[in-house]
Amino acid sequence: MPSLYLAATLLYSSWQAVWGLPVDPESAYTMNGLVAAAGYGSMKFDHPGTTTTLLVELIIRVWGLMSRAGDIVAFGLKHYDAITWAARTSEALVLAGALLAGGLIVGRTTQSAIAAMLFQAGAFVHPEVFHLQTMLAPESLLAAIALFGIAIVIKTALDDKPPATGLGVVAGVIFALGFSTKYLYLPQALFAVCLLGNRRAFVAAAISGAVGFIGFNLIFNPGTITRGFGWLAQIATHKGQYGEGERGFIDFASFWSNMAEIIKAAPLVFGVYMAAAGTALAWCVRTRSWRDPLSLTLGAAALIYAAHLVATSKHFALHYMLVPWVQAGGVLVLILVQLRRLVPTLRSIAPSLLAGCLCAVTIVMTLIEVSSLARQWSALNAVGARLSKAVLAAGPACANVSGMFVRAPENDMNHGWDMTLQLWGDQAMRERFSAAYASAFTVPLLDHNTYTHVLKNNFRPESYAKLAANYPCIVVRSAAALDDENAIGLLSLHPDHCVIEGIHVYTVGLACAKVRGSFEAQR
């Protein structure tokens, strides 16, 4: 299973150009890692993504040291895309390692190879999850941590002996890393109930988890603590996306429909967690005991799923369900053990084979869907790359301006800039990066940002009037039609306009038809 995952994710990654559709959020973490490698520390705290930034920073520092790079910023910008590819590959190796180590733990604990494979099936639970695991985003390391974490939980819950204090420390450290990767890992703290058989182990987990999270982030990403929780409070007290909109916790106009969409997206996972709650309750009612470690763990799993379901229904995005979704295989293993306890006459092989068949079908369906999506996205990215070549061919002397989501190979750094230095960098930092870009590349990087309404030239603010004075012609690509609000002054130059494969092209001093003709000539 780890080999299948590694092969599938590397193949899938090879179809996903880093400057294409996944530029958000990948570029933000590549740039943030470069910012940290340049000595400024992490500038992203909103997920918080500390482990992801640290991974990129390590790649840049090691590669720069081996290459004897003089200016680490210029080196990072010059190898920007390669750094993203390297980080993707590193994440894939980490997750494959978590699947292997976790599978060994589960297999030895249950004395069942089927149980080990059921646990590992969580990596393939949904196409959205598989996609985010492949990309340079916090979700990839988050999935690896969550999978290894549930393996430790299974070992603890099924062990006949009380959990050792050292196991509590390990559980706490895993939680600290998961919470440092994404705030949505917080509900995993409920799994500490499996440690209640040894009070020292429980206390050790609480202390190592709290101290590990605070210490790790104070060193590598202080904004997680000083600003991150304020950002979370903003989200929790406003109904809109990212803390916007009117005050309140939930917009019930969309909450229940969002919840239905989440359940519909992964009905098998929903059934697993409902079975977890049902089997836990059945054991407690039957034995009239509420202190059984396995039952407590299954109950905690159901509550964790419910917490994620509510949070995601409020702030809708399917990948927010990643943690309970990838852990569904591990929870299924616990359910099968609980069923054997509840019905001793039931042959264990029957439910195990049924669960295995369901997981196998899920894996096949996920791989089929992601392969189809990969081909579609690859075709879209090819259009963006082809249009970039067409612009250069039609107007080699023109100012070549592109925006986000037009899939321009030369533009991906700008999203990373907007999500780090533009928001939280000072002027000295910005000037250093701008000068480094100019030293590493001969062609200026021109960006039309419809979000911030800023035109940038090598990351510095620019105006279309100045471009018109310095260039004989201008070509602008935008994902959306421009109007007085988002044109940043371009419309005052009365540009020609055409749409090529869904991308809006505006030209000044050059006929848009010439760009279209150049694009069609490259078929």
| DSSP tag of 68 | T
pLDDT band at 348 (very low <50, low <70, confident <90, very high): low
* Mean pLDDT of all residues in 107-127: 93
What's the mean per-residue pLDDT of the chain? 93
Q: Look at residue 523 in the predicted model and tell me its pLDDT.
A: 73
Q: What local confidence, expressed as pLDDT, does residue 251 receive?
A: 82
Q: What is the Cα–Cα distance from 245 to 261, expressed in whole angstroms?
A: 22
| Rounded Cα gap, residues 514 and 364, in angstroms | 46
Residue 316 has pLDDT above 90, yes or no: no
Dump pLDDT digits (tens) for 28-46.
999 999 999 999 999 988 8
pLDDT of res. 254: 87
Q: Is the pLDDT of residue 474 over 90?
A: yes
What integer is the mean pLDDT of 185-195? 96
Domain ranges of the chain: 251-346, 381-521
Q: What is the pTM of this model?
A: 0.93
What is the rounded CA–CA span in Å between residue 187 and residue 319?
Answer: 16
Residue 396 preceded by cis peptide, ω within 30: no
Q: How far apart are CA 123 and CA 126, in angstroms?
A: 8
Q: Label each residue of 258-314 as H, E or C.
A: HHHHHHHHCHHHHHHHHHHHHHHHHHHHHHCCCCCHHHHHHHHHHHHHHHHHHHHHH
**Is the confidence at residue 238, as pLDDT, over 90?**
no
Between 171 and 237, name the one with better pLDDT.
171
pLDDT tens string 368-419? 999 999 999 999 999 999 999 999 999 999 999 999 899 999 999 999 999 9
Tokens 């470690």, residue located: 293
pLDDT band at 365 (very low <50, low <70, confident <90, very high): very high
